[in-house]
A and B are shown apart, each in its own frame.
Chain A
Amino acid sequence: MKFIKSKDYWRKNLKYLIILLSIWFTVSFGFGIILVDQLNTIQFFGFKLGFWFAQQGSIYVFVILIFVYIYLMNRLDKKFRSSK
């Protein structure tokens, strides 16, 4: 197993980082803080939506984001590891 040292690997990684970190910022700083008053006008079960994002939703999304990154990077690692 040889790892192919290519600039594409790093470029792909950076692309994933930008996408995932934008979601990270949006759910916490966006929905939980900046837009909290607007979202609080929406009722989500027994919660006001903005409050729910700040105390529950953002944390769930954080966990999902890391596992998505693990999946994407494992797939990428495999692609760049050849048997040559």
Chain B
Amino acid sequence: MSLQFSIWLIVGLTFALYIGIAIWSRASSTNEFYVAGKGVHPIANGMATAADWMSAASFISMAGIISFLGYDGSVYLMGWTGGYVLLALLLAPYLRKFGKFTVPAFIGDRYYSNTARTVAVFCALIVSFTYIAGQMRGVGVVFSRYLEVDINSGVFIGMGIVLFYAILGGMKGITYTQVAQYCVLIFAFMVPAIFISIEMTNNPIPQLGFGSVGSDGVYLLDKLNGLHQELGFSQYTSGSKSRLDIFFITAALMIGTAGLPHVIVRFFTVKKVSDARKSAGWALLFIAILYTTAPAIAVFARTNLIETVSEKNYNNMPSWFKKWEDTGLLEFNDKNNDQIIQYNGNENINELTIDRDIMVLANPEIAQLPNWVIALLAAGALAAALSTAAGLLLVISSSVSHDLIKRIVKPDISEKGELIAARFSAFFAVLLAGYFGINPPDFVAATVALAFGLAAASFFPAIVLGIFYKRMNKEGAISGMVIGILLMLFYMTKFKFGWFGGGDSSDWWFGISPEGFGTVAMIVNFIVSIAISNLTKEPPKEIIDLVENIRLPNDTDD
């Protein structure tokens, strides 16, 4: 079977599966459209959350990023998993008990204010749009690399598929397709990882393999550190960023994760409070399978790559080297014309430029795995991108149809009308996301980090204080959110886009990068919220009762 044919076959089969699930689980009420009828099993919800969470970037780029950053890459590993502990312990059970459809609904009700609700809607929209543009682009890139269609057609195909199952099925359809997508993506990620681990260390478990000895009897990580030293790179297990910055970036990613509306809303879909806790546990377990394998792949791929190319003759390179050279992901520039590849940490000597995505994409070929594994990888990358895009789409459509139209603009809208409005907003959101996927603004890459910073600086304090601090009132929450978000936007635009006088890393406040600044903005939000709320009138009695009620797990029939 030719490679092209296997790829079309496997991608086609998985797409047919997603569409089949969407038809089977279409939504007929707003309750089903927004929160899947609140009847999702905690394990199924855990898988759906994991697929929702792991985007094209986690699937394709993360192992590669880590393999170039070494220890510094730990910020992503800890940052994008540690947030689930905060979710499970501080947010999910209480928000489930509260029992509404969206995050802005909680903020609006808890702070008895439509101003707070509107601020929350805008935060949710900004965060979700910056995210979804990247996902549509990811779909396009995967299509163009594996199926030999151009990126734009790839984006159109992706838009069509997402549109179909998100509009038809709402949260219910999305949840069950995400369960299928999780299975596809984790299988596709693990198969090559296991094969490569066996090949390099004789250990089938990649998590243990990268701490084992290679065929030459030396620990793999010691060997890689040695290679790095020889070639002038900083030591793999130590990294080069400042510890303070690592600390702040990790914290911003963790707290941002816990504040992302498309993740939080998944916990509204289960039956009861104890299920919300359970599904957070399952979600993290399913995510951890990929996140603990990625650093192993990073080490395997890095060692493999250096050993294959370093100081070797260009004409003797294996066939995958030439193939990825054609795609532009590998570039060899023979500066001293000796036909030998010098790969070095010193920019003046280095002759090889490697795109980080190649570490995952070329893995099956480097390990000489059969065609169906490569096809599986394509299907897995698409599953990762589509599932995240669909989850974000739903947050956008429910923020508009439920929080803006139903609660503020037209409260007397019928359930049927609201459902139509929800489907229309999903439709326009896909078109807009597709537009950004085809014409990506330069700042897409920069703004993914912005999304985490924004979520950390705006939602997280408002939600946590809303649950754990009864005295918290609307004046405090609104000023905290507004100041947190503006401070974050100011810092990011100043140092990322050069606004407000710009500046480089030597001008960073306390040496903290824009990626880590979300933590600072969040702390400021907490301080402002608590201070203002103590200077103003305490919240009304019924709000205190509401807070006391969400703290207890009893169902209404208890």
**B77 close to chain A: CB less than 8 A:** yes
Q: Which of A9, A21, A51 contacts B89 (CB 8 A)?
A: A21
Q: Mark B209-225, 1 if CB is under 8 A from A, else 0.
A: 01111000001111000
User: B227 to chain A: closest CB distance in Å?
Assistant: 15
Instruction: Check B85 against A62 for contact (C-beta < 8 Å).
Output: yes
Stretch at the interface among B145-153, B246-254, B336-344: B246-254
**B204 close to chain A: CB less than 8 A:** no
Residues of chain B with a CB closer than 8 A to A10's CB: 551-552
In the complex, what distance in Å separates the CA atom of A4 from the CA atom of B191?
Answer: 50
In the complex, what distance in Å separates the CA atom of A34 from the CA atom of B242?
Answer: 11
Beta-carbon nearest neighbor of B220 in chain A: A46
Question: Per DSSP, are chain B's interface residues mostly helix, strand or loop, or mixed?
Answer: helix
In the complex, what distance in Å separates the CA atom of A36 from the CA atom of B335?
Answer: 39
Stretch at the interface among B157-165, B275-283, B300-308, B319-327: B275-283
Q: Which of A17, A28, A81 contacts B250 (CB 8 A)?
A: A28
In the complex, what distance in Å separates the CA atom of A55 from the CA atom of B74?
Answer: 6
Residues of chain A with a CB closer than 8 A to B93's CB: 73
Instruction: Check B285 against A63 for contact (C-beta < 8 Å).
Output: yes
**B238 close to chain A: CB less than 8 A:** yes
Interface residues on A, range: 35 or more
Residues of chain B with a CB closer than 8 A to A56's CB: 207, 292, 295
Instruction: Check B552 against A24 for contact (C-beta < 8 Å).
Output: no
Instruction: Check B288 against A66 for contact (C-beta < 8 Å).
Output: no
**B82 close to chain A: CB less than 8 A:** yes
- Whether A81 contacts B558 in the complex (CB less than 8 A), given A20-B89, A29-B250, A59-B78, comes out as yes
User: A11 to chain B: closest CB distance in Å?
Assistant: 11
**B534 close to chain A: CB less than 8 A:** no
Instruction: Check B554 against A3 for contact (C-beta < 8 Å).
Output: yes
**B81 close to chain A: CB less than 8 A:** yes
Instruction: Check A46 against B82 for contact (C-beta < 8 Å).
Output: no
User: A66 to chain B: closest CB distance in Å?
Assistant: 4
Residues of chain A with a CB closer than 8 A to B554's CB: 3, 5, 81
Among B97-122, those with CB < 8 Å from A are none
Residues of chain B with a CB closer than 8 A to A32's CB: 74, 78, 250
Residues of chain A with a CB closer than 8 A to B292's CB: 55-56, 59-60
- Whether A9 contacts B552 in the complex (CB less than 8 A), given A59-B292, A66-B281, A77-B274, comes out as yes
Instruction: Check A33 against B247 for contact (C-beta < 8 Å).
Output: yes
Residues of chain B with a CB closer than 8 A to A15's CB: none
Residue among A1, A3, A45, A56 facing the most chain B CB atoms (10 A cut-off): A56
Q: Which of B238, B288, B295 contacts A63 (CB 8 A)?
A: B288
Beta-carbon nearest neighbor of B77 in chain A: A55
Residues of chain B with a CB closer than 8 A to A70's CB: 88, 274, 277-278, 281
A-binding residues in B (CB < 8 A):
66, 71, 73-74, 77-78, 81-82, 84-85, 88-90, 93, 207, 210-213, 219-222, 237-238, 243, 246-247, 250-251, 254, 274, 277-278, 280-281, 284-285, 288, 291-292, 295, 551-554, 558
A-B contact pairs, 14 of them (CB 8 A): A13-B551, A20-B85, A29-B251, A33-B243, A40-B237, A46-B210, A46-B213, A55-B74, A58-B82, A59-B81, A62-B82, A66-B89, A69-B281, A70-B278
